[in-house]
Amino acid sequence: MRRWLTAAVLGYFLYGLFIYWYLFLSSDGSLPQYLEGTPADPKTFLTGRELLLSEEYSRKKDFLFFLTAPFEWFIYLVLLITGLSGKFQKWAEGTARYFIVRVAVFWFWVSLLTAALSLPVHYIGYGLAKEYHISTQPFSSWMKDQLIDFWIGYAIMTLLAAVLVFLIRKYKRRWWLAAWILSIPFSLFLMFLQPVLLDPLYNDFYPLKDKELEAKILQIAERADIPAEHVYEVNMSEKTSSMNAYVTGIGSNSRIVLWDTTLQKLKENEILFIMAHEMGHYVMKHIYVGIAGYLLLSLAGLFLVKQLMEWLISFRGKRLQLDSPGQLAALPLFFLLIGVLSFASSPLTNAVSRMQEKSADMYAIEMTGDKEAAVRTFQELAKSGLSRVNPPELVKQFRYAHPTMAERIMYMDGWTVPEEE
C-alpha cells in the first residue's frame, strides 16, 4: 500500500512539474510574426496592463486546470489502495437492508470525502478569478453554488451507481451494453430538464428585457426558419464580468440564452452576430450531432472500462482490495477509469466542437453580413475574459472547445460577405 501511495504521489508531482515547465517555461503563446499588427494581435485592442494580466491569468488558470483534472482520479485511487472504499461498503451494508439505501449511504461517504478534499482546490480557482476581477461573486454565493453542485451531483451519481451495480451483477458479460442503452434516454431526459429545472437553481432566467433588440433577434430567427418566441437573459453579472451566450436544452425546452454582461458590454450589431452564431448551432443541429457523438464515445468507453476493470481486478485485485466489479467498493475504480478516458478523448471532442463553432461563425457572418462587428465581438470576448488569443498547443487541444480567438478573428477578418442576388 505504501509503495502504491508513494508511486501515486510521485507520479502526480512529476506530472505537475511537467505542466509547470510547459506553461511557464517552455511555451510563450506568442503570435506568429505574420499576424503582428493584424486585428488578431492583442496589442491592437488591449492595453499593456491588460496584456500582462491576460498572460498571467491564462497561465495560472491553465495550470490549475491541468492539476485539478486528475485530482479526483487520485482521490479515487487513494480510496481503493487504502481500503477506505471497502470500509465505506461495510458501513453501508451494516446500516441498511435495502440495496438502494446501501448505495446511497456508500456514495454519500465517497462524495463527502471527494468534495471535502476538492473544496480547497475549487477555492483556489475562485480566488484566482476574484484576484483578476473575472469573478464578481461573493463568497456566500459561491459556497451556495458548491452546495447545490454537491447535492445535485450526489443525487445523480447515486442513481447512476445503483443502476450500474445492478447491471454488473445481473449481466456480468454484457453489462456495459445494457448501461449504454439505458444512458441514451437518461442523457436526453437530463438535457430536456436542464434549462427548466437545473439551470434556474444557480441563476435567474427571464425573457430579454430589451424588446426592440429581441424583435431584431427574432427577425433573424424567422429568416433562419427557427420557431423562436423568446430570447432569454440570465443575470450572470452577479457572478462574473466575462461574457457568453449559448444554446441549451432539446425539443420544446430548447433555449437561446444571453448573459446580461454580454448585453452590457457589446453593441447591438455585435449582439446580433452572437445571436446569429447561436442560431447557426440550432439550424445545423449541432446539439443532436453532439449527442450522437457522445453516445458513440460512451459506447466505446464503457466497453473499454469493462475490460480494464476485469483486468485490474484479476491481476491487482488484492492491492486494490477488490474481488469483483459488482462490489460497491469497485465504484471508485469505475469512475476513475471513466475520468481518465474522458480526459484522454477531450482533444477529439474539442476538435469536433471547434469545427462546429467555426461553421456557426460562418453562418452568423452570412446572416448578418457584418464582419467588423464579428471581429470586435471576439476582441471584446478576449478582453473581458483575459483570454490569450493564441494559447499553447497543449492547452488548445485539451481546453478549447472553440477555435482560438486568433483563428476566429483572422478568418472573420478575411471573410468576404457574398453579395445578395
Q: Is residue 218 part of a domain?
A: no
* Catalytic member of 199, 361, 370, 407: 361
What confidence score (pLDDT) does residue 421 get?
40
- 149 is an active site residue: no
Mean residue pLDDT of the chain comes to 89
CB 161 within 8 A of CB 167: no
What confidence score (pLDDT) does residue 400 get?
94
Residue percentage of the chain with pLDDT more than 90: 57
Closest CA to 153 of 123, 192, 115: 115
pLDDT tens, position by position, 40-67: 899 999 999 999 999 999 999 999 999 9
CB 132 within 8 A of CB 386: yes
The answer for 251, left when phi > 0, alpha when psi is -120 to 50, beta otherwise, is left
Q: What is the mean pLDDT of residues 215-243?
A: 84
Q: Is residue 87 part of a domain?
A: yes
pLDDT tens, position by position, 74-107: 899 989 988 899 999 999 998 878 999 999 999 9
Is residue 277 annotated as involved in ligand binding?
Answer: yes
Please tell me the distance from the alpha carbon of residue 98 to that of residue 57, in angstroms, as a whole number: 49
The count of structural domains within the chain is 1
Q: Is residue 22 part of a domain?
A: yes
What confidence score (pLDDT) does residue 228 get?
66
Closest CA to 398 of 126, 62, 18, 125: 62
What confidence score (pLDDT) does residue 249 get?
72
pLDDT at 417 > cutoff 50: no
Q: What is the mean pLDDT of residues 352-364?
A: 93
Q: What is the mean pLDDT of residues 1-19?
A: 87
Residue percentage of the chain with pLDDT more than 70: 96
* Cell numbers linked to 274: 452572437
Q: Is residue 97 part of a domain?
A: yes
pLDDT tens, position by position, 129-144: 999 999 999 999 999 9
Write a three-state SS string for 323-360: CCCCCHHHHHHHHHHHHHHHHHHHHHHHHHHHHHHHHH
* Catalytic member of 214, 278, 370, 407: 278
Please tell me the distance from the alpha carbon of residue 337 to that of residue 304, in angstroms, as a whole number: 9
Q: 329: domain range?
A: 2-175+305-413
Q: Is residue 16 part of a domain?
A: yes
Q: Is residue 229 part of a domain?
A: no
Q: Is residue 332 part of a domain?
A: yes
Q: Is residue 238 part of a domain?
A: no
Looking at 7-16, 286-295, 354-363, 408-417, which range is the least confident one?
Answer: 408-417
- 361 is an active site residue: yes
Is residue 357 annotated as involved in ligand binding?
Answer: yes
Is residue 281 annotated as involved in ligand binding?
Answer: yes
